[in-house]
A and B are shown apart, each in its own frame.
Chain A
Amino acid sequence: MNFYGIRAIYRFEMARTFRTLLESVAAPVLTTSLYFIVFGKAIGSRMGDIDSIGYGAFIIPGLVMLSLLNESISNASFGIYMPKWAGTIYELLSAPVSWIEVLIGYVGAAATKSVLLGLLILATARFFVPYQIAHPLWMMGFLLLTAITFSLFGFIIGLWADSFQKLQVIPMLIVTPLTFLGGAFYSINMLPPVWQKISLFNPVVYLISAFRWSFYGVADVDVVMSIGMTCGFLIVCLTFVWWVFKSGYKIRR
Protein backbone atom coordinates (compact mmCIF):
# COMPACT_ATOMS: atom_id res chain seq x y z
CA MET A 1 0.00 0.00 0.00
CA ASN A 2 1.39 3.41 -0.99
CA PHE A 3 0.25 5.38 2.08
CA TYR A 4 2.34 8.42 1.19
CA GLY A 5 0.64 8.43 -2.19
CA ILE A 6 -2.85 8.28 -0.69
CA ARG A 7 -1.95 11.02 1.76
CA ALA A 8 -0.56 13.20 -1.04
CA ILE A 9 -3.77 12.92 -3.09
CA TYR A 10 -5.98 13.42 -0.04
CA ARG A 11 -4.07 16.51 1.09
CA PHE A 12 -4.02 17.92 -2.43
CA GLU A 13 -7.78 17.61 -2.66
CA MET A 14 -8.40 19.02 0.80
CA ALA A 15 -6.11 21.95 0.00
CA ARG A 16 -8.29 22.63 -3.03
CA THR A 17 -11.31 22.92 -0.73
CA PHE A 18 -9.65 25.33 1.62
CA ARG A 19 -8.41 27.39 -1.31
CA THR A 20 -11.96 27.73 -2.55
CA LEU A 21 -13.47 27.99 0.93
CA LEU A 22 -16.10 30.50 -0.10
CA GLU A 23 -17.64 28.40 -2.88
CA SER A 24 -16.97 25.07 -1.17
CA VAL A 25 -18.55 25.91 2.16
CA ALA A 26 -20.21 29.30 2.19
CA ALA A 27 -22.37 28.75 -0.89
CA PRO A 28 -24.08 25.51 0.24
CA VAL A 29 -24.61 26.92 3.75
CA LEU A 30 -26.22 30.01 2.27
CA THR A 31 -28.43 27.96 -0.05
CA THR A 32 -29.58 25.76 2.80
CA SER A 33 -30.31 28.78 4.96
CA LEU A 34 -32.50 30.11 2.17
CA TYR A 35 -34.37 26.80 2.06
CA PHE A 36 -35.01 27.06 5.80
CA ILE A 37 -36.21 30.61 5.53
CA VAL A 38 -38.53 29.89 2.60
CA PHE A 39 -39.72 26.34 3.31
CA GLY A 40 -39.09 26.12 7.04
CA LYS A 41 -40.28 29.52 8.21
CA ALA A 42 -42.42 31.16 5.54
CA ILE A 43 -44.26 28.21 3.97
CA GLY A 44 -43.65 25.75 6.80
CA SER A 45 -45.55 27.92 9.31
CA ARG A 46 -48.70 27.25 7.32
CA MET A 47 -48.05 23.52 6.92
CA GLY A 48 -49.41 20.82 9.20
CA ASP A 49 -47.11 18.38 10.99
CA ILE A 50 -45.95 15.31 9.07
CA ASP A 51 -45.68 12.12 11.13
CA SER A 52 -46.21 14.44 14.11
CA ILE A 53 -43.02 16.33 13.29
CA GLY A 54 -43.13 20.07 12.66
CA TYR A 55 -42.54 20.82 8.96
CA GLY A 56 -39.40 22.87 9.60
CA ALA A 57 -37.82 20.00 11.50
CA PHE A 58 -39.17 17.43 9.01
CA ILE A 59 -37.25 18.87 6.07
CA ILE A 60 -33.87 19.06 7.87
CA PRO A 61 -32.69 15.50 7.07
CA GLY A 62 -33.83 15.91 3.46
CA LEU A 63 -31.99 19.21 3.06
CA VAL A 64 -28.81 17.77 4.52
CA MET A 65 -29.07 14.83 2.10
CA LEU A 66 -29.73 17.19 -0.80
CA SER A 67 -26.49 19.07 -0.13
CA LEU A 68 -24.61 15.88 0.70
CA LEU A 69 -25.49 14.31 -2.65
CA ASN A 70 -24.74 17.42 -4.67
CA GLU A 71 -21.50 18.17 -2.89
CA SER A 72 -20.25 14.58 -2.94
CA ILE A 73 -20.86 14.34 -6.66
CA SER A 74 -19.47 17.73 -7.58
CA ASN A 75 -16.40 17.47 -5.31
CA ALA A 76 -15.39 14.06 -6.54
CA SER A 77 -16.23 14.61 -10.21
CA PHE A 78 -14.33 17.90 -10.23
CA GLY A 79 -11.42 16.38 -8.34
CA ILE A 80 -10.64 13.80 -11.01
CA TYR A 81 -11.87 15.80 -14.00
CA MET A 82 -9.52 18.74 -13.35
CA PRO A 83 -6.26 16.77 -13.77
CA LYS A 84 -7.69 15.25 -16.94
CA TRP A 85 -8.60 18.68 -18.25
CA ALA A 86 -5.35 20.37 -17.19
CA GLY A 87 -3.20 17.44 -18.33
CA THR A 88 -1.66 16.91 -14.90
CA ILE A 89 -3.15 13.40 -14.87
CA TYR A 90 0.12 12.27 -16.48
CA GLU A 91 1.67 12.32 -13.03
CA LEU A 92 -1.05 10.20 -11.47
CA LEU A 93 -0.78 7.66 -14.30
CA SER A 94 3.00 7.45 -14.07
CA ALA A 95 3.02 7.15 -10.28
CA PRO A 96 3.32 3.88 -8.35
CA VAL A 97 -0.24 4.04 -7.07
CA SER A 98 -2.97 1.46 -7.60
CA TRP A 99 -6.52 2.33 -8.55
CA ILE A 100 -7.70 1.59 -5.04
CA GLU A 101 -5.20 4.08 -3.63
CA VAL A 102 -6.24 6.74 -6.13
CA LEU A 103 -9.83 6.06 -5.17
CA ILE A 104 -9.18 6.30 -1.41
CA GLY A 105 -7.41 9.62 -1.94
CA TYR A 106 -9.98 11.29 -4.18
CA VAL A 107 -13.18 9.75 -2.85
CA GLY A 108 -11.94 10.00 0.73
CA ALA A 109 -11.29 13.73 0.36
CA ALA A 110 -14.60 14.36 -1.43
CA ALA A 111 -16.52 12.40 1.22
CA THR A 112 -14.70 14.19 4.05
CA LYS A 113 -15.67 17.53 2.57
CA SER A 114 -19.31 16.64 2.14
CA VAL A 115 -19.62 15.12 5.63
CA LEU A 116 -18.11 18.28 7.13
CA LEU A 117 -20.54 20.27 5.06
CA GLY A 118 -23.48 18.12 6.17
CA LEU A 119 -22.57 18.74 9.80
CA LEU A 120 -22.20 22.44 9.08
CA ILE A 121 -25.68 22.51 7.59
CA LEU A 122 -27.07 20.72 10.64
CA ALA A 123 -25.45 23.35 12.81
CA THR A 124 -26.88 26.11 10.61
CA ALA A 125 -30.35 24.54 10.87
CA ARG A 126 -30.13 24.90 14.65
CA PHE A 127 -30.48 28.65 14.20
CA PHE A 128 -33.81 28.22 12.43
CA VAL A 129 -35.56 25.17 13.88
CA PRO A 130 -35.18 23.07 17.01
CA TYR A 131 -34.73 19.35 16.31
CA GLN A 132 -33.43 16.24 18.03
CA ILE A 133 -31.37 13.34 16.75
CA ALA A 134 -32.75 10.06 18.07
CA HIS A 135 -29.92 7.82 16.82
CA PRO A 136 -26.75 9.95 16.47
CA LEU A 137 -24.49 7.00 15.64
CA TRP A 138 -26.80 5.80 12.89
CA MET A 139 -27.06 9.38 11.69
CA MET A 140 -23.26 9.59 11.33
CA GLY A 141 -23.23 6.15 9.72
CA PHE A 142 -25.79 7.15 7.07
CA LEU A 143 -23.98 10.42 6.51
CA LEU A 144 -20.69 8.60 5.88
CA LEU A 145 -22.15 5.82 3.77
CA THR A 146 -24.05 8.27 1.56
CA ALA A 147 -21.07 10.59 1.24
CA ILE A 148 -18.77 7.74 0.21
CA THR A 149 -21.27 6.20 -2.22
CA PHE A 150 -22.05 9.43 -4.00
CA SER A 151 -18.45 10.60 -4.03
CA LEU A 152 -17.72 7.36 -5.82
CA PHE A 153 -20.56 8.08 -8.22
CA GLY A 154 -19.15 11.57 -8.77
CA PHE A 155 -15.70 10.11 -9.37
CA ILE A 156 -17.20 7.95 -12.13
CA ILE A 157 -18.85 11.00 -13.70
CA GLY A 158 -15.51 12.81 -13.58
CA LEU A 159 -13.79 9.90 -15.31
CA TRP A 160 -16.46 9.66 -17.96
CA ALA A 161 -16.83 13.39 -18.68
CA ASP A 162 -14.69 14.89 -21.39
CA SER A 163 -16.14 18.39 -21.19
CA PHE A 164 -17.42 20.71 -18.49
CA GLN A 165 -20.92 20.32 -19.94
CA LYS A 166 -20.84 16.56 -19.44
CA LEU A 167 -19.58 17.12 -15.93
CA GLN A 168 -22.75 19.09 -15.14
CA VAL A 169 -25.32 17.16 -17.12
CA ILE A 170 -25.84 14.15 -14.86
CA PRO A 171 -26.04 16.12 -11.61
CA MET A 172 -28.44 18.59 -13.23
CA LEU A 173 -30.68 16.30 -15.24
CA ILE A 174 -30.73 13.20 -13.06
CA VAL A 175 -29.53 13.80 -9.52
CA THR A 176 -31.34 17.07 -8.80
CA PRO A 177 -34.76 15.77 -9.95
CA LEU A 178 -34.25 12.54 -8.05
CA THR A 179 -33.39 14.37 -4.84
CA PHE A 180 -36.34 16.75 -5.16
CA LEU A 181 -38.64 13.80 -5.84
CA GLY A 182 -36.91 11.75 -3.14
CA GLY A 183 -39.05 13.02 -0.30
CA ALA A 184 -36.83 15.83 0.95
CA PHE A 185 -39.81 18.15 1.32
CA TYR A 186 -42.61 15.61 1.82
CA SER A 187 -43.30 12.09 3.00
CA ILE A 188 -43.91 9.75 0.09
CA ASN A 189 -46.95 8.51 2.04
CA MET A 190 -48.54 11.84 1.07
CA LEU A 191 -48.44 10.81 -2.60
CA PRO A 192 -51.20 8.92 -4.48
CA PRO A 193 -50.58 5.11 -4.38
CA VAL A 194 -49.26 4.96 -7.99
CA TRP A 195 -46.65 7.63 -7.31
CA GLN A 196 -45.69 5.91 -4.07
CA LYS A 197 -44.86 2.78 -6.10
CA ILE A 198 -42.92 4.80 -8.69
CA SER A 199 -41.01 6.58 -5.93
CA LEU A 200 -39.65 3.24 -4.73
CA PHE A 201 -37.51 3.15 -7.91
CA ASN A 202 -35.82 6.35 -6.80
CA PRO A 203 -32.70 5.46 -4.77
CA VAL A 204 -32.72 8.86 -3.07
CA VAL A 205 -36.02 7.96 -1.35
CA TYR A 206 -34.19 5.26 0.61
CA LEU A 207 -31.35 7.57 1.61
CA ILE A 208 -33.61 10.34 2.86
CA SER A 209 -35.99 7.94 4.55
CA ALA A 210 -33.24 6.19 6.50
CA PHE A 211 -31.58 9.46 7.38
CA ARG A 212 -34.84 10.92 8.67
CA TRP A 213 -35.38 7.77 10.71
CA SER A 214 -32.07 8.41 12.50
CA PHE A 215 -33.45 11.81 13.53
CA TYR A 216 -37.08 11.17 14.41
CA GLY A 217 -37.50 7.38 14.43
CA VAL A 218 -39.99 7.44 11.57
CA ALA A 219 -39.31 6.27 8.03
CA ASP A 220 -41.13 6.01 4.69
CA VAL A 221 -39.47 2.70 3.86
CA ASP A 222 -37.88 0.02 5.99
CA VAL A 223 -34.46 1.07 7.32
CA VAL A 224 -32.81 -2.29 6.55
CA MET A 225 -34.07 -1.99 2.98
CA SER A 226 -32.53 1.51 2.80
CA ILE A 227 -29.15 0.30 4.00
CA GLY A 228 -29.29 -2.59 1.52
CA MET A 229 -30.08 -0.26 -1.40
CA THR A 230 -27.27 2.16 -0.52
CA CYS A 231 -24.73 -0.64 -0.13
CA GLY A 232 -25.93 -2.14 -3.42
CA PHE A 233 -25.29 1.16 -5.21
CA LEU A 234 -21.89 1.43 -3.53
CA ILE A 235 -20.94 -2.02 -4.85
CA VAL A 236 -22.12 -1.15 -8.38
CA CYS A 237 -19.99 2.00 -8.35
CA LEU A 238 -16.94 0.16 -6.98
CA THR A 239 -17.23 -2.54 -9.64
CA PHE A 240 -17.48 0.07 -12.37
CA VAL A 241 -14.43 1.99 -11.15
CA TRP A 242 -12.47 -1.27 -10.88
CA TRP A 243 -13.35 -2.05 -14.50
CA VAL A 244 -12.41 1.47 -15.61
CA PHE A 245 -8.94 1.20 -14.11
CA LYS A 246 -8.38 -2.35 -15.33
CA SER A 247 -9.34 -1.58 -18.91
CA GLY A 248 -7.82 1.89 -18.97
CA TYR A 249 -11.12 3.18 -20.33
CA LYS A 250 -10.89 6.93 -21.01
CA ILE A 251 -7.69 7.19 -18.99
CA ARG A 252 -4.93 5.11 -20.54
CA ARG A 253 -4.86 5.02 -24.28
Chain B
Amino acid sequence: MNTLPTASLSADNVAPIMSVRGVNKTYAGGFQALKNINLDIRRGEIFALLGPNGAGKTTLISIICGIVNASSGAIIADGHDIVRDYRKARATIGLVPQELHTDAFESVWATVTFSRGLFGKPPNPAYLEKVLRDLSLWDKRKQKIMALSGGMKRRVLIAKALAHEPAILFLDEPSAGVDVELRRDMWRMVRELRAQGTTIILTTHYIEEAEEMADRIGVISKGELILVEGKQALMRKLGKKQLTLTLRQPMTGIPANLNAWSLELADNGQALVYSFDTQKEETGIAELMRALAEQDIEFKDLRSRESSLEDIFVSLVHRPKETAA
Protein backbone atom coordinates (compact mmCIF):
# COMPACT_ATOMS: atom_id res chain seq x y z
CA MET B 1 0.00 0.00 0.00
CA ASN B 2 1.32 3.36 -0.93
CA THR B 3 -0.11 5.92 1.40
CA LEU B 4 1.27 9.35 1.81
CA PRO B 5 2.57 9.88 5.31
CA THR B 6 1.33 12.87 7.19
CA ALA B 7 3.45 15.95 7.18
CA SER B 8 4.74 15.57 10.68
CA LEU B 9 5.56 11.90 10.25
CA SER B 10 7.52 12.41 7.06
CA ALA B 11 9.40 15.29 8.58
CA ASP B 12 10.50 13.21 11.53
CA ASN B 13 11.36 10.08 9.61
CA VAL B 14 13.36 11.48 6.71
CA ALA B 15 17.08 11.92 7.35
CA PRO B 16 17.99 15.60 7.33
CA ILE B 17 19.66 16.89 4.17
CA MET B 18 21.92 18.99 6.32
CA SER B 19 22.97 18.84 9.91
CA VAL B 20 24.91 21.39 11.85
CA ARG B 21 26.43 20.10 15.08
CA GLY B 22 27.97 22.21 17.81
CA VAL B 23 29.25 24.94 15.52
CA ASN B 24 31.08 27.82 17.16
CA LYS B 25 32.77 30.74 15.52
CA THR B 26 35.05 33.23 17.17
CA TYR B 27 36.63 35.74 14.80
CA ALA B 28 40.30 36.68 15.04
CA GLY B 29 39.36 39.87 16.88
CA GLY B 30 37.75 37.80 19.67
CA PHE B 31 34.15 38.43 18.64
CA GLN B 32 32.06 35.31 19.14
CA ALA B 33 29.70 35.27 16.18
CA LEU B 34 28.15 31.84 16.74
CA LYS B 35 27.57 29.91 19.94
CA ASN B 36 27.02 26.14 19.78
CA ILE B 37 24.67 26.03 16.82
CA ASN B 38 22.78 22.75 16.32
CA LEU B 39 20.36 22.58 13.41
CA ASP B 40 18.84 19.98 11.12
CA ILE B 41 17.45 21.00 7.76
CA ARG B 42 14.84 18.66 6.28
CA ARG B 43 15.03 17.54 2.70
CA GLY B 44 12.83 19.65 0.45
CA GLU B 45 11.79 22.28 2.94
CA ILE B 46 12.06 26.04 2.91
CA PHE B 47 13.79 27.06 6.08
CA ALA B 48 13.98 30.68 7.11
CA LEU B 49 16.72 31.84 9.40
CA LEU B 50 15.41 34.96 11.02
CA GLY B 51 17.36 37.44 13.06
CA PRO B 52 18.37 41.07 13.39
CA ASN B 53 21.44 42.44 11.64
CA GLY B 54 24.64 41.09 13.14
CA ALA B 55 22.93 38.07 14.71
CA GLY B 56 25.20 35.60 12.92
CA LYS B 57 23.03 34.53 9.98
CA THR B 58 25.58 35.27 7.30
CA THR B 59 28.39 33.78 9.37
CA LEU B 60 26.50 30.50 9.66
CA ILE B 61 25.82 30.39 5.92
CA SER B 62 29.40 31.32 5.14
CA ILE B 63 30.68 28.45 7.27
CA ILE B 64 28.37 25.94 5.62
CA CYS B 65 29.42 27.14 2.16
CA GLY B 66 33.14 27.09 2.91
CA ILE B 67 33.81 30.84 2.92
CA VAL B 68 34.51 31.06 6.64
CA ASN B 69 36.17 28.38 8.76
CA ALA B 70 34.27 27.27 11.87
CA SER B 71 36.17 27.43 15.17
CA SER B 72 34.65 24.08 16.15
CA GLY B 73 31.79 21.78 15.27
CA ALA B 74 30.82 19.72 12.25
CA ILE B 75 28.45 20.10 9.32
CA ILE B 76 27.12 17.34 7.07
CA ALA B 77 25.58 18.39 3.74
CA ASP B 78 23.70 15.69 1.85
CA GLY B 79 25.76 13.01 3.59
CA HIS B 80 29.13 14.69 3.10
CA ASP B 81 31.27 16.37 5.74
CA ILE B 82 31.87 19.92 4.52
CA VAL B 83 35.54 19.85 5.49
CA ARG B 84 36.72 16.27 4.94
CA ASP B 85 34.58 15.69 1.89
CA TYR B 86 34.35 19.27 0.69
CA ARG B 87 34.14 18.50 -3.01
CA LYS B 88 30.97 16.44 -2.77
CA ALA B 89 29.48 18.65 -0.08
CA ARG B 90 30.04 21.90 -1.98
CA ALA B 91 28.82 20.44 -5.26
CA THR B 92 25.39 20.03 -3.66
CA ILE B 93 25.19 23.62 -2.42
CA GLY B 94 24.39 26.83 -4.26
CA LEU B 95 24.84 30.21 -2.62
CA VAL B 96 23.23 33.53 -3.45
CA PRO B 97 25.19 36.05 -1.40
CA GLN B 98 23.74 39.08 0.25
CA GLU B 99 25.96 41.62 -1.49
CA LEU B 100 25.75 42.09 -5.25
CA HIS B 101 29.21 40.75 -6.01
CA THR B 102 29.41 40.31 -9.78
CA ASP B 103 32.01 40.33 -12.52
CA ALA B 104 31.02 43.64 -14.01
CA PHE B 105 32.65 43.11 -17.41
CA GLU B 106 31.37 39.59 -18.01
CA SER B 107 28.23 38.82 -19.96
CA VAL B 108 25.36 37.07 -18.22
CA TRP B 109 25.87 33.96 -20.32
CA ALA B 110 29.62 33.85 -19.67
CA THR B 111 29.18 34.19 -15.93
CA VAL B 112 26.63 31.37 -15.58
CA THR B 113 28.75 29.14 -17.81
CA PHE B 114 31.71 29.91 -15.58
CA SER B 115 29.76 29.03 -12.44
CA ARG B 116 28.64 25.69 -13.82
CA GLY B 117 32.18 24.77 -14.81
CA LEU B 118 33.67 25.94 -11.53
CA PHE B 119 31.38 23.56 -9.68
CA GLY B 120 32.63 20.68 -11.80
CA LYS B 121 29.63 20.15 -14.03
CA PRO B 122 29.94 19.39 -17.76
CA PRO B 123 28.48 22.07 -20.06
CA ASN B 124 24.72 21.98 -20.51
CA PRO B 125 23.53 25.01 -22.49
CA ALA B 126 19.94 23.77 -22.53
CA TYR B 127 19.79 23.71 -18.74
CA LEU B 128 21.40 27.14 -18.43
CA GLU B 129 18.94 28.49 -20.97
CA LYS B 130 16.09 27.21 -18.83
CA VAL B 131 17.55 28.83 -15.71
CA LEU B 132 17.94 32.17 -17.49
CA ARG B 133 14.47 31.98 -18.98
CA ASP B 134 12.93 31.18 -15.59
CA LEU B 135 14.62 34.26 -14.18
CA SER B 136 13.63 36.47 -17.15
CA LEU B 137 17.31 36.89 -17.98
CA TRP B 138 17.38 35.15 -21.36
CA ASP B 139 16.96 38.39 -23.32
CA LYS B 140 19.83 39.91 -21.41
CA ARG B 141 22.23 36.97 -21.74
CA LYS B 142 24.63 38.89 -24.01
CA GLN B 143 24.67 42.02 -21.88
CA LYS B 144 27.50 42.90 -19.60
CA ILE B 145 26.51 42.56 -15.97
CA MET B 146 27.53 46.14 -15.22
CA ALA B 147 24.77 47.35 -17.56
CA LEU B 148 22.07 45.61 -15.52
CA SER B 149 19.93 47.09 -12.75
CA GLY B 150 20.36 46.01 -9.13
CA GLY B 151 17.35 43.71 -9.34
CA MET B 152 18.67 42.08 -12.49
CA LYS B 153 22.08 41.59 -10.88
CA ARG B 154 20.34 39.79 -8.04
CA ARG B 155 18.74 37.49 -10.62
CA VAL B 156 22.14 36.88 -12.18
CA LEU B 157 23.48 35.79 -8.79
CA ILE B 158 20.55 33.40 -8.42
CA ALA B 159 21.21 32.02 -11.90
CA LYS B 160 24.88 31.51 -11.02
CA ALA B 161 23.93 29.66 -7.84
CA LEU B 162 21.54 27.41 -9.77
CA ALA B 163 23.95 26.80 -12.66
CA HIS B 164 25.32 23.59 -11.16
CA GLU B 165 21.91 22.16 -10.19
CA PRO B 166 22.39 22.24 -6.42
CA ALA B 167 20.23 20.18 -4.07
CA ILE B 168 20.49 22.89 -1.41
CA LEU B 169 20.11 26.57 -2.18
CA PHE B 170 21.11 29.32 0.22
CA LEU B 171 19.57 32.73 -0.24
CA ASP B 172 21.25 35.26 2.00
CA GLU B 173 18.88 38.21 2.42
CA PRO B 174 17.29 37.73 -1.01
CA SER B 175 15.05 40.77 -0.65
CA ALA B 176 17.73 43.27 0.31
CA GLY B 177 17.41 46.21 -2.04
CA VAL B 178 14.87 44.51 -4.25
CA ASP B 179 11.63 46.07 -5.44
CA VAL B 180 8.22 44.60 -4.68
CA GLU B 181 7.76 43.07 -8.11
CA LEU B 182 11.09 41.26 -8.06
CA ARG B 183 10.42 40.08 -4.54
CA ARG B 184 7.14 38.50 -5.67
CA ASP B 185 8.94 36.95 -8.67
CA MET B 186 11.60 35.57 -6.40
CA TRP B 187 9.10 34.06 -4.01
CA ARG B 188 7.36 32.40 -6.92
CA MET B 189 10.67 31.07 -8.19
CA VAL B 190 11.64 29.75 -4.77
CA ARG B 191 8.38 27.87 -4.52
CA GLU B 192 8.94 26.37 -7.96
CA LEU B 193 12.40 25.26 -6.94
CA ARG B 194 11.03 23.65 -3.84
CA ALA B 195 8.42 21.90 -5.97
CA GLN B 196 11.29 20.47 -8.02
CA GLY B 197 12.87 19.11 -4.85
CA THR B 198 15.44 21.76 -3.98
CA THR B 199 15.92 22.44 -0.29
CA ILE B 200 16.00 26.17 0.38
CA ILE B 201 17.50 27.99 3.29
CA LEU B 202 17.01 31.71 3.37
CA THR B 203 18.05 34.34 5.81
CA THR B 204 16.01 37.42 6.21
CA HIS B 205 15.15 40.14 8.59
CA TYR B 206 11.92 40.78 6.74
CA ILE B 207 9.36 38.84 8.71
CA GLU B 208 6.98 39.11 5.79
CA GLU B 209 9.32 37.00 3.75
CA ALA B 210 9.57 34.21 6.29
CA GLU B 211 5.86 34.30 6.91
CA GLU B 212 5.12 34.14 3.19
CA MET B 213 7.48 31.35 2.28
CA ALA B 214 8.95 29.30 5.08
CA ASP B 215 7.92 25.86 6.24
CA ARG B 216 10.03 26.20 9.35
CA ILE B 217 11.66 29.11 11.06
CA GLY B 218 14.80 29.39 13.11
CA VAL B 219 15.39 32.50 15.13
CA ILE B 220 18.97 33.53 15.70
CA SER B 221 19.97 36.30 18.05
CA LYS B 222 23.42 37.31 19.26
CA GLY B 223 24.97 34.18 17.79
CA GLU B 224 22.54 31.75 19.40
CA LEU B 225 19.83 29.76 17.74
CA ILE B 226 17.08 30.53 20.21
CA LEU B 227 14.23 28.69 18.53
CA VAL B 228 13.42 26.33 15.66
CA GLU B 229 9.76 25.67 14.91
CA GLY B 230 7.33 24.98 12.14
CA LYS B 231 5.87 28.28 11.06
CA GLN B 232 2.28 27.28 11.78
CA ALA B 233 3.22 25.80 15.15
CA LEU B 234 5.19 28.88 16.03
CA MET B 235 2.33 31.17 15.19
CA ARG B 236 -0.11 28.96 17.07
CA LYS B 237 2.11 28.67 20.07
CA LEU B 238 3.09 32.23 20.43
CA GLY B 239 0.21 33.74 18.54
CA LYS B 240 -1.90 36.30 20.29
CA LYS B 241 -5.06 37.90 19.13
CA GLN B 242 -6.06 41.44 19.77
CA LEU B 243 -9.56 42.76 19.92
CA THR B 244 -9.82 46.50 19.34
CA LEU B 245 -12.98 48.35 20.30
CA THR B 246 -13.47 51.85 18.98
CA LEU B 247 -15.32 53.77 21.69
CA ARG B 248 -18.15 56.25 21.33
CA GLN B 249 -16.86 58.28 24.26
CA PRO B 250 -13.11 58.54 24.87
CA MET B 251 -11.91 57.23 28.24
CA THR B 252 -9.16 58.59 30.47
CA GLY B 253 -8.55 55.41 32.41
CA ILE B 254 -9.63 51.79 32.56
CA PRO B 255 -12.35 51.26 35.17
CA ALA B 256 -11.23 49.12 38.10
CA ASN B 257 -13.89 46.47 37.61
CA LEU B 258 -12.43 45.66 34.18
CA ASN B 259 -9.06 44.72 35.69
CA ALA B 260 -9.78 41.03 35.16
CA TRP B 261 -9.01 41.52 31.44
CA SER B 262 -5.68 42.72 30.13
CA LEU B 263 -6.88 45.92 28.57
CA GLU B 264 -5.03 48.89 27.19
CA LEU B 265 -6.16 52.24 25.97
CA ALA B 266 -5.10 53.39 22.53
CA ASP B 267 -5.68 56.35 20.22
CA ASN B 268 -5.84 58.87 23.08
CA GLY B 269 -8.53 56.91 24.83
CA GLN B 270 -10.59 56.43 21.67
CA ALA B 271 -9.96 52.70 21.57
CA LEU B 272 -9.80 49.86 24.00
CA VAL B 273 -7.46 46.97 23.13
CA TYR B 274 -7.89 43.50 24.59
CA SER B 275 -5.10 40.94 24.08
CA PHE B 276 -5.91 37.26 24.51
CA ASP B 277 -4.38 33.89 23.89
CA THR B 278 -5.87 32.01 20.95
CA GLN B 279 -4.85 28.67 22.48
CA LYS B 280 -7.03 29.04 25.55
CA GLU B 281 -10.46 27.49 25.77
CA GLU B 282 -11.98 30.63 27.19
CA THR B 283 -11.05 33.80 25.44
CA GLY B 284 -13.01 35.92 27.87
CA ILE B 285 -14.58 37.97 25.09
CA ALA B 286 -18.18 37.21 26.00
CA GLU B 287 -17.61 38.16 29.63
CA LEU B 288 -15.84 41.35 28.59
CA MET B 289 -18.76 42.33 26.39
CA ARG B 290 -21.20 41.79 29.25
CA ALA B 291 -19.02 43.78 31.63
CA LEU B 292 -18.77 46.66 29.13
CA ALA B 293 -22.55 46.69 28.72
CA GLU B 294 -22.98 46.79 32.49
CA GLN B 295 -20.63 49.78 32.65
CA ASP B 296 -22.53 51.49 29.81
CA ILE B 297 -19.38 51.67 27.78
CA GLU B 298 -20.50 51.88 24.19
CA PHE B 299 -18.44 51.16 21.12
CA LYS B 300 -19.10 51.84 17.47
CA ASP B 301 -16.71 49.33 15.89
CA LEU B 302 -14.77 46.25 16.76
CA ARG B 303 -12.08 44.27 14.96
CA SER B 304 -9.77 41.47 15.92
CA ARG B 305 -6.28 40.80 14.61
CA GLU B 306 -3.91 37.87 14.92
CA SER B 307 -0.37 38.74 15.86
CA SER B 308 2.06 38.48 12.98
CA LEU B 309 5.36 36.70 12.97
CA GLU B 310 6.90 40.10 13.48
CA ASP B 311 5.23 40.53 16.85
CA ILE B 312 6.37 37.05 17.81
CA PHE B 313 9.87 37.73 16.64
CA VAL B 314 10.19 40.97 18.53
CA SER B 315 8.96 39.35 21.72
CA LEU B 316 11.43 36.46 21.26
CA VAL B 317 14.49 38.54 20.56
CA HIS B 318 13.79 40.98 23.34
CA ARG B 319 12.70 38.36 25.84
CA PRO B 320 15.03 38.17 28.84
CA LYS B 321 16.99 34.92 28.85
CA GLU B 322 15.13 32.17 30.62
CA THR B 323 18.18 30.30 31.81
CA ALA B 324 20.66 32.06 34.00
CA ALA B 325 23.95 32.70 32.24
Contacts and interface: CB of A to CB of B under 8 A. Distances in A.
A94 B66 contact: yes
A7 B101 contact: no
Contacts of B68: 252-253
B103 interface: yes
Q: Which of B27, B65, B99 has the most CB of A within 10 A?
A: B65
Interface in A87-101: 87-88, 90-98
A5 B108 CA distance: 18
A94 B114 contact: no
Given A15-B110, A19-B105, A90-B95, A253 B69 contact: yes
Given A5-B120, A86-B104, A96 B160 contact: no
A88 B102 contact: yes
B121 interface: yes
Interface string A234-253: 00000000000000100011
B88 A96 contact: yes
A96 B91 contact: yes
B90 A252 contact: no
B67 interface: yes
Contacts of B232: none
Contacts of B97: 87, 90
B153 to A, nearest CB: 12
Contacts of A11: 114, 117
B114 A93 contact: no
Nearest to B28: A253
A2 interface: yes
Interface in A25-64: none
B69 to A, nearest CB: 5
B86 interface: yes
Interface string B66-90: 1111000000000000000011111
B149 to A, nearest CB: 18
A86 to B, nearest CB: 6
A87 B114 contact: no
Interface string A160-204: 000000000000000000000000000000000000000000000
A217 to B, nearest CB: 45
Of A2, A16, A86, A91, which is in contact with the most chain B CB atoms at under 10 Å from its CB? Answer: A91
Contacts of B119: 4-5, 95-96
A12 interface: yes
A216 to B, nearest CB: 42
Interface residues of A, number: 26
Nearest to B25: A253
B115 interface: yes
A157 interface: no
B102 A95 contact: no
A76 B97 CA distance: 26
Given A11-B114, A253-B28, A90 B101 contact: yes
B118 A97 contact: yes
Interface in B91-134: 91, 93, 95, 97, 99, 101-106, 110, 113-122
A4 B103 contact: no
Contacts of B101: 86-88, 90
Contact of B90 (A12, A88, A96): A96
A1 to B, nearest CB: 9
Contact of B118 (A15, A19, A95): A95
Contacts of A94: 65-67, 90, 93, 95
15 contacts: A5-B119, A7-B117, A8-B114, A8-B115, A12-B114, A16-B105, A86-B102, A88-B101, A94-B67, A94-B93, A95-B118, A95-B119, A96-B87, A96-B90, A97-B120
Task: Return the 6 tightest CB-CB contacts between A and B, nearest first.
Answer: A8-B117, A87-B101, A96-B87, A94-B65, A96-B90, A2-B120
Given A96-B119, A97-B118, 15 more contacts: A4-B119, A7-B117, A8-B114, A9-B118, A15-B110, A16-B105, A86-B104, A87-B99, A90-B67, A93-B67, A94-B65, A95-B90, A96-B89, A96-B120, A98-B87
